[in-house]
């Protein structure tokens, strides 16, 4: 059982004993090995070990298909942020735009899809601005307390130490230790923490500046439930390839005849044999291969992979066809429910990021504190959209739903607030011209 999350008693300090036990414990080693295995699936590397000559020859990367389909559907369009009337978050949005936060969101969603969770570190860049970066789950441990709220206590970002020959030093790590108030650089060597405390610095984020993005409450990746089926599929396909290779190299059996060295050479060079006895018989020794049964099994495995992972098979000829929109929606029901679950947890992490940025800007430039109730993260699905139907729906809801929410439904709109402001500017500009160019140009001025 892989742990993937760590809880310690509330108030536990990141001492050398605690850090050494966390980084060198068997639980962490097993966890990192498991992460490496999941990454191997994504890289199309043969994972299942089989005795020779039954090695894996054909790897069909269902893992990558599942992960990329889920992430693309969730974040094919950048997340938009809508706020209550009178609330201004331009300072945060500008920081997001400066660092192309949408690209980081995709990287985090990819990690969450593969490993079950992802990590973002928030830090001060060279201009003392708030910035974010992705941290590989194999290089970070975020420690929560054991209370019902599971508050963040500290985080350890680490990499192995290397000697002058470029070899990893066993049990030694270079690390950054993050607490709710401090950033500390240390080296763990032989169970001791080595570093200069005078270089420790305070940060202005108000909490441990690390955000964990969950793929779900159980921290299970999108293709983790079907890894055994993926293995079975690759084994089946590889065995079919091996059967074909053996068919080419089948044994040639002679009956009623001697097959000397010269005849073997003649057969190899000319593919013809002569001077055989009249009653001689020659045939290949092969096993019967039932391709139809193998293909039925292959199709059943593929169906189970997509069913259990709740990811539709877009190559299925019966997936779309002439189906109505409602029929397609039913086929996507499980997939849509799965993505909604991912969206809830991803949005929760985005609000954690927003809170940290907001706290930092409040300390730096007196930006007002904005609560989660005043801001919404809007996800737009990456699906073919009939913009005509969407525009008709928007017109029907004018006066019932606010403009920003309506405009955010349009697939080609990246910033709903900016679009509404530009539209209002265009409207005001046209009104200021009055009726110039009409048959009664002075009518507007008289009014």
Q: What is the pLDDT of residue 12?
A: 94
pLDDT, tens only, 413-444: 767 777 877 887 777 776 665 555 555 555 55
Q: What is the pLDDT of residue 241?
A: 79
> Is 445 domain-assigned?
no
Q: What is the pLDDT of residue 397?
A: 83
> Is 17 domain-assigned?
yes
Q: In terms of domains, do 413 and 319 share one?
A: no
384, 405, 426: which is the final residue of a domain? 384
**pLDDT score of 361 more than 90:** yes
Q: Is 202 helix (H, G, I), strand (E, B) or coil?
A: strand
Task: Give the number of other Cβ atoms within 10 Å of residue 293's Cβ.
Answer: 9
Element (H, E) at 82: strand 80-83
pLDDT, tens only, 172-188: 999 999 999 999 999 99
Q: In terms of domains, do 195 and 114 share one?
A: yes
Q: In terms of domains, do 213 and 329 share one?
A: yes
338, 355, 384: which is the final residue of a domain? 384
Q: In terms of domains, do 108 and 219 share one?
A: yes
Tell me 255's DSSP state.
E
pLDDT, tens only, 378-406: 898 876 666 777 788 888 888 888 888 88
Q: What is the pLDDT of residue 74?
A: 92
361, 384, 407: which is the final residue of a domain? 384
> Is 353 domain-assigned?
yes
Nearest Cα to 5, choosing from 21, 29, 27, 33?
Answer: 27
List the structure tokens of 399. Answer: 């006066």
Mean pLDDT throughout 289-309? 87
Q: In terms of domains, do 303 and 434 share one?
A: no
Q: In terms of domains, do 401 and 376 share one?
A: no
Cβ atoms 370, 87 nearer than 8 A: yes
> Is 242 domain-assigned?
no
Q: In terms of domains, do 45 and 129 share one?
A: yes
> Is 304 domain-assigned?
yes
CA distances from 10 to 113, 184, 208, 243 (A): 30, 20, 14, 60
> Is 149 domain-assigned?
yes
Which value, in Å, is the radius of gyration of the alpha carbons in the chain? 31
Determine the Cα–Cα distance for residues 132 and 400; give it in Å rounded to an integer: 37
Q: In terms of domains, do 330 and 435 share one?
A: no
List the structure tokens of 409. Answer: 């439904």
Q: In terms of domains, do 116 and 70 share one?
A: yes
Q: Is 418 helix (H, G, I), strand (E, B) or coil?
A: helix
The mean of the pLDDT values for the chain is 85
> Is 215 domain-assigned?
yes
* Alpha carbon of residue 92 to chain centroid: 24
Task: Give the number of other Cβ atoms within 10 Å of residue 235's Cβ.
Answer: 16
Mean pLDDT throughout 35-64? 85
Has this prediction a pTM greater than 0.85? Answer: no
Backbone angles phi, psi at 13, to 5 degrees: -90, 150
Q: What is the pLDDT of residue 422?
A: 82
Q: What angle do CA 135, 139, 142 make, to 5 degrees?
A: 80
Q: What is the pLDDT of residue 240?
A: 80
Who's near 301: CB < 8 A, 6+ residues apart?
229, 232, 233, 236
More confidently predicted of 265 and 364: 364
Q: In terms of domains, do 345 and 410 share one?
A: no
Q: What is the pLDDT of residue 399?
A: 81
pLDDT, tens only, 68-122: 999 999 998 889 898 888 889 999 999 999 999 999 999 999 999 999 999 999 9
Mean pLDDT throughout 46-65? 80
Overall domain count for the chain:
2
Mean pLDDT throughout 280-306? 82
Q: What is the pLDDT of residue 445?
A: 54
Q: What is the pLDDT of residue 402?
A: 81
Q: Pinpoint the alpha helices (H) of 175-280.
A: 227-248, 261-270
**pLDDT score of 363 more than 80:** yes
CA distances from 24 to 3, 63, 142, 192, 343 (A): 14, 30, 15, 13, 34
Q: DSSP per residue over 122-169, as a string? A: EEE-TTS-EEEEEE-GGGEEEEEESSTT--EEEEEEEEEEE-TTSPEE
What percentage of the chain reaches a pLDDT higher than 90? 53
List the structure tokens of 415. Answer: 């910033």
Q: What is the pLDDT of residue 111?
A: 97
> Is 395 domain-assigned?
yes
**pLDDT score of 320 more than 60:** no
Q: What is the pLDDT of residue 1?
A: 65
Q: In terms of domains, do 117 and 71 share one?
A: yes
Q: What is the pLDDT of residue 383?
A: 67
Range of the domain at 413: 387-439
Q: In terms of domains, do 17 and 114 share one?
A: yes
**pLDDT score of 213 more than 90:** yes
* Alpha carbon of residue 133 to chain centroid: 15
């Amino acid at each position: 059982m892989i742990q993937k999350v760590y809880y310690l008693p509330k108030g536990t300090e990141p001492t050398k004993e605690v850090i050494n036990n966390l980084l060198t414990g068997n639980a962490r080693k097993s966890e990192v090995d498991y992460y490496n295995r999941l990454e191997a699936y994504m890289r199309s590397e043969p994972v299942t070990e089989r005795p020779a000559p039954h090695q894996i020859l054909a790897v069909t990367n269902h893992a990558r298909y599942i992960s990329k389909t889920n992430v693309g559907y969730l974040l094919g369009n950048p997340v938009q942020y809508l706020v209550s009337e009178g609330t201004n978050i331009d300072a945060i949005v500008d920081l997001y735009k400066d660092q192309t936060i949408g690209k980081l969101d995709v990287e985090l969603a990819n990690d969450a899809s593969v490993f079950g969770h992802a990590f973002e570190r928030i830090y001060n860049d060279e201009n003392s601005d708030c910035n974010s970066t992705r941290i590989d789950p194999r290089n970070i441990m975020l420690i929560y307390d054991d209370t019902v709220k599971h508050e963040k206590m500290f985080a350890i970002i680490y990499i192995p130490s290397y000697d002058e020959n470029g070899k990893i030093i066993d049990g030694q790590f270079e690390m950054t230790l993050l607490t709710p108030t401090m950033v500390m650089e240390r080296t763990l060597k032989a169970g001791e923490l080595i570093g200069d405390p005078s270089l420790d610095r305070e940060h202005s984020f108000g909490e441990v500046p690390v955000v964990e993005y969950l793929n779900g409450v159980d921290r299970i990746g999108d293709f983790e439930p079907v890894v055994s089926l993926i293995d079975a599929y690759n084994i089946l396909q590889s065995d079919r390839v091996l059967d074909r290779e053996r068919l080419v190299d089948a044994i040639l059996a002679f009956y009623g005849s001697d097959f000397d060295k010269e005849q073997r050479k003649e057969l190899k060079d000319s593919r013809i044999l002569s001077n055989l006895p009249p009653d001689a018989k020659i045939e290949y020794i092969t096993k019967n291969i039932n391709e139809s049964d193998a293909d039925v099994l292959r199709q059943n495995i593929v169906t189970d992979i997509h069913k259990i992972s709740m990811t539709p098979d877009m190559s299925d000829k019966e997936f779309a066809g002439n189906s109505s929109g409602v029929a397609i929606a039913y086929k996507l029901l499980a997939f849509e429910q799965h993505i909604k679950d991912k969206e809830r947890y991803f949005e929760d992490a985005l609000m954690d990021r927003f809170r940290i940025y907001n706290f930092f800007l409040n300390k730096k430039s007196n930006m007002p504190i904005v609560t989660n109730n005043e801001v919404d993260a809007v996800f737009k699905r990456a699906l073919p959209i009939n913009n005509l139907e969407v525009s008709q729906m928007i017109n029907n809801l004018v006066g019932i739903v606010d403009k920003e929410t309506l405009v955010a439904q349009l697939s080609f709109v990246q910033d709903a607030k900016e679009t509404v402001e530009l539209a209002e500017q265009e409207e005001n500009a046209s009104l200021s011209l009055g009726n110039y160019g009409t048959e009664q140009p002075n009518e507007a001025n008289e009014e």
